[in-house]
Amino acid sequence: MQITSIIGNYSYSIPLAEVAEILKNRFKERIVMVNHFCIRHQAFSQKQLEEMEEDIKKSDIILLSMVFDEAVLKILEKYSGEGKTYLVLASVGEGMRLARLGKFCVGEVITSFADSKVAKVFKLLKGLTGRSSPLEVRKLLTMADSILKVLRFGRWRDAYNYVQAWKYFFHGGRENILNMFLLILAEYYGFNTNYKPPTEIPSFYIAHPRSDKIFTSVDEYLKWYDLPYWMSTNGSKRKKRPLVGILFYNERYQNEDSRDLDAVINKLEGKGIGVIPAMSTGLENLSTIKTFFLDNGKPRVDAIISFLFFRIEGGPLGGNYEAFEHLCQQMNIPFINYVCMGFSTHEDWRERTEGMYPMETTLSLILPELDGLIEGVLIAGGKDTSQKGRNKVRIMTPLEERVDHAVARTTNWLKLKYKANKDKKVAFILFNYPPGKDTIGSAGNLDTFESLIRLLDRMREEGYTVSGYPRTRHEFIRLITKKNVVNQSNWTSITKVKGNCFKVSLPEYREWFSELPDKCQKEMIESWGDPPGSLMADEEYLYVPGLQFGNIFIGFQPARGVHADPTKTYHDTALPPHHQYYAFYRFVEKVSQADVVVHFGTHGTLEFLPGKQVVLSESCFPDIFMGNLPHLYLYTCSNPSEAMIAKRRTYAALVDYMTPPMIVSDLYGSFAEMETDIHNYYHFKEQSPARAKELKEKILNDAKENNLVDIEAEDVDVNKLYNDLSEMKGSMMTKGVHVMGRSLTGDELVDYVLGIVRFDRGEISSVHKSLALGYGLDWDDVRQNPSKVLKDGKIVGVICERINQEARNLLSEILIGKSPVKKAIKKQLHKKLNKEAKRKLIETLEFSLKLGKKLEKNQEIGHMIHALNAEYISPGLGGNPIRSPAVIPTGRNTYQFNPDLIPTPLACRRGEEVARQVIECYRKENEGRFPETVGVILWGFETMKTQGETIGEIFHLMGIRPKRSGLNDMVGLEPIPLEELKRPRLDVAVEICGIFRDTFPVVLRYIDRAFRLVASLNEPYDKNFVRKHAKAIQKALEKEGIPRDQAEQLSVARIFGPSASNYGTDVTDLIETSEWEDPSQIADLHLAKMSHLYGDMYHAESNVSTFREVLDTVDVVAQVRDNEEYGIADLDHYYEFLGGLSSSVETVRKSKSSSNRKARPVVLVADSTKDKIKTMDIKKTIDYEVRTKLLNPSWMKGQINSGYKGVKNLSNRIEYLFGWQATTSGSVDNWVWSEMADKYVFNEEVRKKMMQENIWAVEDQLRR
C-alpha cells in the first residue's frame, strides 16, 4: 500500500523521511510512503500536479496539512469517493470537508449534525468558519477529545482517532508522526502493530542547545544559565547582564530543524549577550512572552528576537492583536524579526532578484510588520540534504554571513539602548534631490528645517550633546547655501562645494572600496570609472556635504548621478551608486561614528539602489551602505508603498508624520461672482425672464473668460455649470506643508475632521447625511444635483451650503468650544431629526471628538525620541488619513494593509464602478463601441490606500471575480457568466510599478492567472477580447520566429513593469533634465523600461515585442487617483506612468497604422477620493485641478507661507504640467500656461515673496 503526504511546511520533511524508512523496513516494503511539499499561492507546474495526482490515485492514505491550493484540492476531490483515508489537518473549508477516517467525514458531520455540539467542535476546530481564535481551537480540541472518549463507537470512534491524529501531528517529532501512521494502519488496514498515544509536550517552554533539559520555569533556567563573558552595558542601572528573548517554533525544535537557532545563539553569546530561547506552537505567544520575558510587569529581556512566520499573537489563526500591542508597549523594548525562508533554498535565494517566493514575503516580512517588528534581515533558508525518489529532505540552515550581519545589527540596537543620551552620536541624513540649492532638505509635504529644529530642541532637553544649530529655517538654509554644503549641480561647482565639506582622502576611500564584494566594485567602475570618479570628487578627496552640531551630524544624501550624466537614464538595468555615494555612508559609519542613522523625510534614494527586492544579500547596495547601524526613517503616513521599500531594503524602523492641514478649496474671484449670478438667475427665471436672460448672457461670457465653455459657444447649460462650480467649491486641498510634531488646532482642526466625516467611513455615517434629513432631503441625491430647484423654489445648492455651515458649526462647538456632543447639537441644530438620524449624528460627533483629540496631541517628536532610545514604536496603518482615519495618530511604525485581504469586497465594488465608468466614457466618445483593451496603471501607492480598487477594476473589465475563504482573503478566481456580465470581456494591459511588484507579489500572480483563465474560456472572439487578442498576438510572435509553445505562453502575458532592479520608467529624469527633443524619445524610453513581463511564469523578463503587440490593441488608458493630498498635477509619477503609457500606445499604433482606428488612446483618470467615483478625461482633469488648486489664492498662500519647501512645491507643479504636455500632447491648454504665468511670474508681489523664500526654485521656474 502507499501513503502520500502533501505538506505546506518543510520542517516536517525530516521526520516524514525517517518515518518512511521505518515503515518500509518494519513492514518489509509492503508500505511505500511518498512526500510532497508546497507553499501557498505558489503555482505548481503541470509535471508537479501530474506526479501528485499519480501518487494520490495509488494511495490508500493521504495526509494533507497547510495546503490551500485549489489545483491540489481538485485532485483530492476527484478521488474522494474511492474510500481512501484523507487526513486533512489544516486547509481551507473545501479541503477540510474532504477529511475522512473510517466512517467519519468532517463534511458529512457538518451537514448531518449541523446543530450538534460535536459538529460545532469540528466545524470550529478545523477553521471552517475562519473565525476561531487560537485559544478557542485549543479549548475545542480538548473538548472534542473528552467528548469523543465517551462516544467511542461507530463514526465517533473514528472521529476520536481523527482528533488523535491531529494531536500526533500538532505535537510533532518523529515518534508522534510514526505512531500516528501506526494507529491508522492498525485500526483501519489490519496491520498487526502496536502504537503509543500522542506524546504531549508543554504548550511553551525554554530550551537551549547546550542542555538536554526542557525548562518550564525561567528562574530554573537562569540558575542553570551563565556566560563566560557578558557585554558591557556602560554602567547602565537598568541591566547588569544583557538578555535577549527568542521566540522559536516548537514543531521545528521537535522535528530537529533548529540549526539556525543554534547559530544565532552562538553568535549572540559570543558577543556577551545572553539568551532565553522560548519554544511555542505559535498560538500561545502572548502567554509565552508574559511567562518568560516579564518579571513583575517589567521586561526581563532587553529585546525579543522572533523566528516566527505570521503575526506573533495567534499565528495563522489570528488572535487578540490589541492585547499584544498593549503588552509590547508595556515592555517597551525592540521586537526584532529574524527572517527564515520556509520554502526557498540558499540557491533559490542567491539566484532570484525578488529574494523569496511571494507567500514567504507575506508570512516572513509583511505580517510580522503588523506587530511592529523591525529589521527583517534574512538569516536562514532551506538546504536539501537528501532525496530518495520523490521524498526530499530539506532542513533550515543558517546563512553564516547573514547571521553575523543580523546579530551585529541587534548588538548595536542594544548598545544604543544602554548608551547615555549625552554620548550618543546621531546622523541625520537629509535629501537634496535633484541636486542643487533649490531642493535642500527636500521631503514630501514636510517643512524639513522647521521640523529638524523642533526635534533638535527636544533632543537637547533630553540630554543630547547638540549646540550651535540655527534657530529658524531661514538661518538653516542661509548657512547651508552660504557654505555650499550641497551636492554639486548646475547651481554649484565642485570648487565652491569642497571648501566647507568633510573630506575623505583617496587612499582611505580605496581601502573602503576594497571591502566591497568584487561584483559591486566591477559594477561601480563600469558605470563611474575608477575611484574617485568625477562626482563630488577631485584628484585628492571625495567630499561629504554636511554640518556638525556637537554629537549631531547633518548630511545631505548624494545625488544618483543622472542629472550629471543624463545619458545614464537610458540604460535598462538599475544604475549602481557612484563613488561619493558610497564614501558618504562609510563616512557616517566609520568617521562620524554614528550610533544611529535617521533619514529625515520622504524620501531618499538609498532604498532604491540595485539589489534584491527583499531579504537582501551581502552584495546588495542598500544592505552594504547601511552596514550595521540602527536605522530610523521619518516618513509620511500617506505613502505606505514606498515606506515599505525603505523598511525592507534598508532595515528602517519608521516613524511616520502627518499630512499637511487640509482645507476646502471654495470658490474665489470670478468663480465666486459666477455662483452669485447663477443664484440670481434661478431667482429671476420665473419672476423676471428678461432679467434672467441678461444674467445668462453675463454667465456665458464669464464662463468663456474663465475657460469653462468653448470660446465659440452661443449658449451655456447653467445647471451643468452650477453643478461643476459646486463640485469645485467642495474639493479638498492641502494648506502648505506639515511640521513634525505640530498638532492641529482651531479652524485647521475643524477643517481636517470635517474632511473625514463629510462622507460615510465604515460604520460611521456622514455628518452631512444626518443633517440633510432635517430638511427632508437625501444627501447623496442632493449633492449630486445642486442645481435642482425644490417645490418651494429653493435651490438645492444653497441648502447644501447651509448644511455645510451647520456641520462646521457643530464640529467647532465640540472641538474648539469643548461642548459635550448633546449640548452642541441642542445649541447648533435648528432642524428636528428623527430618532435614528439623531443617534447616527451623535455617533459621528463622538467619533469626531475622539479623532480631534488625537490630532490635537501630535506625538511624532516624542516617538522619535523613544526610537532613539531603542524603545518599542507601535505599529500604525499607512494610508490617507482622510480616507482611512485609522492612520491617525502618527508617530508610529508604518505597516501596509494586510495583502491577504486585497482586493477587499468593498474595493471590488468600487473597482467595478471604475470599470463601468471607463467603459462608458470611451463608448460616449466612440459611437457606442466597446474598447477592446484598456491600459491600466497599477500602483502599490494606490493599492495600499484603496485596498485594491484598481485590481477590482481589472477583474471586472475581464469579467472575473475573486473566490474567498471564510477569512475573506482571495483563494481563487471564477469567471462571471456572460449572461450576467451583459457585455464582452475586455482585455487589459496592466502596467505596474516596481513597488507593486515588491509589496504585492501574491496578488500579482492572481492577476496573471485571471488572464490565463479568461483566455482559456471557450467563448466567441467578439465576446472575449482576451482570447481574441491572444490568438492574434501568438500568430504575430510566431512570425517573428518565436517557437509556438513559447509564443502561446507570451500571448496571454498582460502584466508589464520595470526590470527587477528598477522601480519606475525614468521618464521623470528626461523631463527634469530636458534631455529630449521629440515626444517619441519619451515613448521609446518608456517602452524599453516597462517591457518586462510579470506573473506566475515570468519575473522581470524583458520582451519588447510582446509589449508592443499588446499596446497595439489598447484603445483607452486609465488610472485611479486615490487621495486629496496629491492630484495628478502634484506628483510627477502620474505623468511618468499614465502619460508615458499613453505616449507609448500612440507611438506603437502609429507604427502599425490602420485606417479604421485612432492612434492616440483616450486617457482617463478615475477620481476615487470621495465616496462617489468620478471619471474624466485627462484634459478635463488637469483643467479642474488647475482651477481648484494651482490658481487658488488660498492654496498659493498656504504654500508660500510654508517658505522654502512650499515655494519649491509651486515650482514643481509647473514642471509636472510640462511633463503632461510632453506625454499627452494637448492635455494642457494654452490658457493654463497664461494663467499660471500671470499668477506666479508676472504678479510682482507673489514673485517677490517666492524669491525671498527660495530664489533658486523661482529661477528654475523661469528657465522653463
DSSP string of 391-412, one letter each residue: EEEEEEEE-HHHHHHHHHHHHH
Tell me the per-residue pLDDT of 283-309, one tens digit each, with 9 for 90 and over: 789 999 999 999 999 999 999 999 999
Residue 775 has pLDDT above 60, yes or no: yes
pLDDT of 154 reads 60
Q: Mean pLDDT over residues 533-562, rounded?
A: 94
Cβ atoms within 10 Å of 1187's Cβ, excluding its own = 23
pLDDT of 788 reads 87
Q: Mean pLDDT over residues 844-848, rounded?
A: 95
Residue 139 has pLDDT above 70, yes or no: no
**CB within 8 Å of 1010: residues ≥ 6 apart:** 954, 955, 958, 960, 973
Instruction: Output the nine-digit C-alpha cell for 1173.
Output: 467615483
pTM of model > 0.85: yes
Label residue 900 by pLDDT band (50, 70, 90). confident
Cβ atoms within 10 Å of 935's Cβ, excluding its own = 29
Return the half-sphere exposure (C-beta side, CA atoms, 13 A cut-off) of residue 1070.
28
Angular region, 314: left φ>0, alpha ψ -120 to 50, beta rest:
left
* CA gap 658, 879 in Å, rounded: 10
pLDDT of 132 reads 41
**CB within 8 Å of 1115: residues ≥ 6 apart:** 922, 926, 931, 932, 933, 934, 1157, 1161, 1162
Burial per residue of 533-554, b for 16 or more beta-carbon CB atoms within 10 angstroms, e otherwise: bbbbbeeebbbbbbbebbbbbb
Q: Mean pLDDT over residues 993-1022, rounded?
A: 94
Q: Mean pLDDT over residues 582-600, rounded?
A: 97
Does 566 sit behind a cis peptide bond, omega within 30 degrees of 0 on the bond before it? no
Q: Mean pLDDT over residues 125-145, rounded?
A: 46
pLDDT of 158 reads 87
Residue with cell 470581456: 985
* CA gap 426, 416 in Å, rounded: 10
pLDDT of 135 reads 41
Label residue 848 by pLDDT band (50, 70, 90). very high
Q: Mean pLDDT over residues 1167-1171, rounded?
A: 91
Q: Is 118 exposed, middle or buried (0-12, 13-18, 19+ CB in 10 A)?
A: middle
Residue 1212 has pLDDT above 80, yes or no: yes
Least confident residue range of 375-389, 549-563, 716-730, 1054-1068: 375-389
Q: Mean pLDDT over residues 449-468, rounded?
A: 97
Q: Which carries the bigger pLDDT value, residue 475 or residue 496?
A: 475
* CA gap 861, 459 in Å, rounded: 9
CA distances from 966 to 344, 484, 963 (A): 28, 60, 10
pLDDT of 152 reads 55
Residue/partner pairs of 1154-1161 with CB below 8 Å, 24 or more apart: 1157/1115, 1161/935, 1161/1114, 1161/1115, 1161/1116, 1161/1117
Instruction: Output the nine-digit C-alpha cell for 219.
Output: 528562574
Least confident residue range of 580-594, 700-714, 917-931, 1016-1030: 700-714
Label residue 235 by pLDDT band (50, 70, 90). low
Residue with cell 520622504: 602
Label residue 136 by pLDDT band (50, 70, 90). very low
Residue 427 has pLDDT above 80, yes or no: yes
Q: Mean pLDDT over residues 1177-1186, rounded?
A: 95
| 3-state class (DSSP) for residue 99 | coil
Q: Which segments of 207-362 are extended strands (E)?
A: 243-249, 274-280, 294-295, 298-299, 303-306, 335-345
* CA gap 121, 141 in Å, rounded: 8
Which alpha helices (DSSP H) does 215-273 contain, by range? 218-224, 250-254, 259-270
**CB within 8 Å of 712: residues ≥ 6 apart:** none
| 3-state class (DSSP) for residue 1098 | coil
Residue 976 has pLDDT above 80, yes or no: yes
User: How many helices, marked H, and strands, marked E, lie in the chain?
Assistant: 54, 37
> Partners of 1119 in the beta sheet?
1165
Radius of gyration in angstroms for the set of CA atoms belonging to the chain, rounded to a whole number: 32
Residue 568 has pLDDT above 80, yes or no: no
pLDDT of 435 reads 83
pLDDT of 487 reads 86
Label residue 694 by pLDDT band (50, 70, 90). very high
Label residue 138 by pLDDT band (50, 70, 90). very low
Residue 858 has pLDDT above 70, yes or no: yes
**CB within 8 Å of 1238: residues ≥ 6 apart:** none
Residues in the chain: 1264
Label residue 1261 by pLDDT band (50, 70, 90). confident
pLDDT of 1084 reads 92
pLDDT of 967 reads 66
374, 428, 292: which is closest to 874 by C-alpha? Answer: 374
pLDDT of 134 reads 37
Label residue 563 by pLDDT band (50, 70, 90). low
Mean per-residue pLDDT of the chain: 90
Asked if 707 and 690 count as a contact pair (C-beta separation under 8 A), the reply is no
Query: What percent of the chain has a predicted confidence (pLDDT) above 90?
Result: 69
pLDDT of 129 reads 33
The CATH number given to 204-215+236-407 is 3.40.50
Q: Mean pLDDT over residues 951-965, rounded?
A: 94
Instruction: Output the nine-digit C-alpha cell for 1129.
Output: 498635477
Give me the residue spans of the domains in the chain: 2-188, 204-215+236-407, 419-661, 667-729, 744-857, 900-1180, 1191-1264
Label residue 810 by pLDDT band (50, 70, 90). very high
Return the half-sphere exposure (C-beta side, CA atoms, 13 A cut-off) of residue 122.
32
CA distances from 212 to 201, 216, 224, 244 (A): 14, 13, 12, 21
> Partners of 90 in the beta sheet?
65
State residue 160 phi and psi, 5-degree precision. Answer: -60, -45
Instruction: Output the nine-digit C-alpha cell for 1085.
Output: 524610453
Residue 128 has pLDDT above 50, yes or no: no
Q: Which carries the bigger pLDDT value, residue 565 or residue 888?
A: 888
Label residue 953 by pLDDT band (50, 70, 90). very high
* CA gap 793, 682 in Å, rounded: 9
Q: Which carries the bigger pLDDT value, residue 869 or residue 83?
A: 869
pLDDT of 130 reads 40
Q: Mean pLDDT over residues 556-563, rounded?
A: 86
pLDDT of 970 reads 84
pLDDT of 1113 reads 96
Tell me the per-residue pLDDT of 1153-1168, one tens digit each, with 9 for 90 and over: 665 678 899 999 999 9
Highest mean pLDDT among 23-32, 276-285, 914-923, 1202-1211: 914-923
pLDDT of 137 reads 41
Cβ atoms within 10 Å of 131's Cβ, excluding its own = 12
